[in-house]
Structures are given as structure tokens and as C-alpha cells.
Structure 1
Amino acid sequence: MDVLIDRVAGLDVHRDTVVAAVRVGGRGGGRRGEVRTFATTGAGLTRLAGWLSEQRVSLVGMESTGVYWKPVYYMLEDSFECWLLNAQHMHNVPGRKTDVTDAAWIAQLLEHSLVRPSFVPPKPIRALRDLTRHRRTTIEDRTRAVQRLEKVMRDCGIKLTSVASELLGKSGRVMIEAMLAGEEDPEVLADLARRWLRVKIPQLREALAGRPLADHQKLLVRQLLAQIDLCDTAVAELDRKVEVMLAPFVDLVGRVMTIPGVAQRTAQCLIAEAGMDMGRFPTAAHLASWAGICPGNHASGGKARSGRSRQGSTWLRTALTEAAHAAAQTRGTPIWPRTTPRSGAAVASRKPWGRSATTF
């Protein structure tokens, strides 16, 4: 095969070491290679960058191994053209699996241009992505803490969520704080309800007529409330930071929010995951394929078989799924037009048992 890129380096990255294989043009039109191993510490990666500069490498490729590739990529991206490669595109010959052969194989694929680079967003988008992902994990941690808190309450026979829509609304939080202070009378606790929940005071009295919180349960409740408050503070701080980072692109955020089902936080997540430069994706179909939200192609012998979706970004898939569910419940959009029935027949056609595919 023809050599399309003269000076390349293939990196086999691990937690503590990185094996670098350099392939350059030799005498008589041949190719020569050299392999060295470096530590993944800051000093080791500096030596790696210096050696690649001495070899005048123009392209560096590495496999996306967990999170181990990130410090190597970030160290080299300012000095070299770096390609992050999909591991599924680089299968080697079985029985030839070593760190040295893997690095040399990556270098050979690069010099013949047999692989394509994966999308790695620029530094500002990566910083935004770190914040939006941490925000989502913090919200998930808060949700788990609320679920554990409700479990403690139900262990005592307190069925607050059977009456109130949420456990930690303004009324629920005041009631829980009163329980921690030692209040046990269901009538007194129910009378702490606020606003519209006061119309349900009789139901609240029955729901709060459980066993008093034991000492160990009070300890659990205090710690869970502190964890929830900490998550709320962290999410608020992350929201402020994300808004500051996206302040120069407020128009772009507004345009993304015109998509049915996409609110401000979802728009921020979509920008953080897919970036702002859509020129990286030739068409919308390419973006959908990269995100892993379109069916795969699997045809053999003239028969089309079920094709799994490719493994895309879990964070982007989650955001798009949430947006799709929200859009499905939004009226007056191209997805679900707002229609006004004009006759009884039209009303009947909207019923699940009388609706056809053309009247949806």
C-alpha cells in the first residue's frame, strides 16, 4: 500500500506508561521504525513530546483507552496533530497482542491513512462539558439522597409523599425539620402545611401518624438533608459558571432552545457535547450517527437484519432522550400540532381506539 503520511507516531496508552512507535522514511525508499516507552507523569510526557519533536513527527495517533488518553492528548495537541482513534477500527491479527505491536500497528494504520480521527472538541468546549457533566451527576446524587430520605420516612410509617407531590417542598421540609426537633403530634405537623397543601390537612394528619423518628434515623435524616443542601448549592454554582461561559454565545443558546422540547439546561448540554462548529459533521445524519441515536446497518445475503445503534456519547443520548420526551408532551409544535376538533367525528378520531395513523 502507498504511504500517504511520511512521519507518524502510534501511541499505546496505559495508566502508568505509554509506548510510542515512530515510523519515518528510510534510505532507499523503505520505512524504519523505533519504539520507546515513557511514563505518563508530567515529566515523562514532556520527554515523549521532546522525542517526537526530534523525530519531526507530523501526526500522532492513539487509541481511546478509558480516560488514560486525555493527559497524553492534552500534552501533545498544541505541538502535533493528534488523532484519537476508535478501538473498534483497529483490530490487529489475533495472537500478536503486545504493547509494542499495538503501537507499531497504530503507526502503520496512520501512515497508510486507514483510520479516521474521532471528534475531540476544542478546549473551551471541553471545559464546558466538564461542568455540564458534573452538574448532571450532582443532580443524580441529589435524587438518590432524596430517595433514601423517603425510604427512612416510610420505615417510620410516614406517608408524606402519598399526599404531597414532593417530599422536600416548602411544607415537607418544614415538617421534617419539626420532626428532627422532637415534634411527634400529627395535628401539629399537618398544621405546618403551606399554601395549597392546607386544603389536604385531614389527609396529612393520617399520612403523618407514623412512629416517631428514632435517634439513629434522625442522624440519617440530618446527614441526608445536609447532602441534599450541598448538592443544591453545587448545582446553583455550576449553573452560574456555565451561564458565564456561554454569555458570548447567548444567541446560539436561544436558537438551540427553539427546538421542541429543548430548554435552557438541555441546550447547554447539547452545545457542550456536540460543540459549536457543526462543520465537523457533513450532514445531520452524520451527527445522529456519531451520537449513536440512529439504527445500525446489518445486511447479509440480501436480507436486512436488526442493526444495533452504535455506542455514542451517553451524556448526549440522555439529553436528546429527555428532549424527545418533553417534545412529545408539547402542543403547538411540528412534532405535535395544535388542532381544534370541529365535530364529534373529529373528537372520536382522536380517541386511542378510533385513531388511525393519518389522524395522529
Structure 2
Amino acid sequence: MASGRRPTLTQSFCRPSTSRASAAQPSTRRGNTMRTTLLAVALTLAGVLVLTGCPGQRAPEELASPDPTLPSEQPIAEGSGEGLGRVLTAVPCGVAGPYGDICEIMKTTDPAIDMQADVANTMVLNRKLVDGKGSCDAYLAMGNVEVEALEKVGKVARAVPVAGMGLGLIVAKGNPLGIKSIADLANDNVKAVAIARPNSSVGFCAEQALKNAGVWSAVEAKLARPDAPSELKSFVMKGKADAAIIYNTCLVEVHTPGQQRQEEGQGVSTKLQDVGLIDQQLYEPFSLQVVVPTDAQNPAGAEAFIRACLSEAGQKIFADWSYIPLKPDAEAGKPEA
């Protein structure tokens, strides 16, 4: 899988001193609907390479409830149209690459379906759907926090995990401060660390990771928190932060379906360096999920897209884009009875 493109790291078996149930405590009060999702993804994530040098770890402190409040003027397309077979998908810009590749295989497997994308910032899409200012047939949600925000307002008919995700640590090219692990973020020479706000999965889980790693008290005062996860890379590139915790897929992402993934020496990788994956044991597992909204005009088309994502070919595509593939399961894409 694509994780082979990441830096070679020594596998660490450091775990939080608390149990899995305790480590996930901040999310248990958000309801039981995601437990099945988290279990499925956790089994897949367990074998991922992680950062070395886990410090002494402690139980996580209570995190703020996810609160998606980012306003935006960017629209999400209104309605799903009347054309038979048309499937309008709300696609976060960072997921445009695998989405485009999966649409290509659907031209063969589901030629009657017309896949159309509304590509925008993930926070923009989530906010519009939560506020009822836009609709779609399928939405690629970048984590459990985003799905739960929609569940709270009754907008989720069905949510299916299609690929695992993780957290990555990035620094400026050349790694001038010699940052090798999340523990190094507490060092005095590290002046600013960028993480997203907790109304996104990447921000919520970054807080968990820092707290479980035992470095929150040393890092909290030097956090730089942009309004959108998409700004994390630019904070490091512009010198506003010495390091950032990002979605592990961010360094290879493209923002237009059909484009090839960014490789080493291309795009942002000329200015940023991937230190490696953050130990998944430090935060609640999360996944890329296909949400079928309650107001979807073509739910059958959305189900066809889910099947394509969960197919062997679809899972290989996700792996090629540095997502963590789930074990393909033909039954997983079927609606519950």
C-alpha cells in the first residue's frame, strides 16, 4: 500500500497507560452510533507504522464537544438534479484524487451512473449540509466528528466507512529543528505547533494525541489553530508554525478529480517534510465515510458509489492515495435490513 512511500520508521508499541475504553472517553458521550465504525477502523489501523519515542503517557483530559461553526460563502450545489443515474457527491478538496479514480472504474462497473462532484473545503461542505443550505446524494466525510455533526441535526440516513485515516506530523523541508516525534513538540526550540480546531476530526484527534502523549501542558500555549484544516500546511510553509499535525493524506492530495497524486519533489513536498505517522494508539480511530443524507435524491446511486469504494479496486485506489484500506467485504456495502 501507499504507506511504503512514507519515511521508514521503527515500529513502536508504546500504548497509553489507560485502556482503549478510557482513551476514547471524550467520544463516548457523543453517542453509541459510531462504535461499530471505530472498531472496524481500529483493527485496520493497528498495523500502521508509527512515530518512535513515545513519552510517558497519561489518560486524556476531557475534550470540548465537536462544534462545527466555521462560516463560509462557498456554496454547495443545490439539489441532486432530475437526471436518472446522476449522483451528486460533496467531495472535500483533499479527497478529489481517489474520488476521481473511483469514478473512472464506475464508468465500467456502473456505466448508467453519471457521477458529478461538488468539490470544496471540508468545513464548507459540512457547514452547508448541517445548516440545510445545500444537498447532495453522497458526502465524503473526513472523520467521525463530521458525521456526528450531521447526525445531531438528523441529516444522516446512512454512513459507511470506506477507508481508514490517520494523523501525520510535518515540518519545514530539511527539518531544521530535528523534530522526530510528537514528544519533540514540547522542546523549547519549538515555538509554534499548528493543529486544527476540534470541530474537525483532524483537530479533535490531534488534541487527543497531544494529551495522551503527555505533552499538552508544554504545547498548549504555543498552538497555532487555523480556521480550516486546509491551512495547516501553509502555516508551516509560511513560518507561522514549526510543525503541524495533519491528515496523513495531505502531502499527496490533489484538488481536482483526475489529477495524479503529488509525489516527492512535487507540489508542497518541495517545502514540507513528512516526519511520519503519529501513533494511532494516542487518539480515537477515524475513517473516511460515505454519508447518504436523508434528503438525497438518488440514494440508489449513492449505494452504487459505496459499493465501488468498498470493492477490491476501490480499496486499492484508496491505498494508492495513502489512505488505510479496509478489508473488502461485499456485505459491508449493503443497507441494513
TM-score, length-normalised on structure 1?
A: 0.21
Greater RCO (Cα-Cα under 8 Å, separation 6 or more): 2
Structure of larger gyration radius: 1
Structure with the larger strand share: 2
TM-score, length-normalised on structure 2?
A: 0.22
Structure with the larger helix share: 1
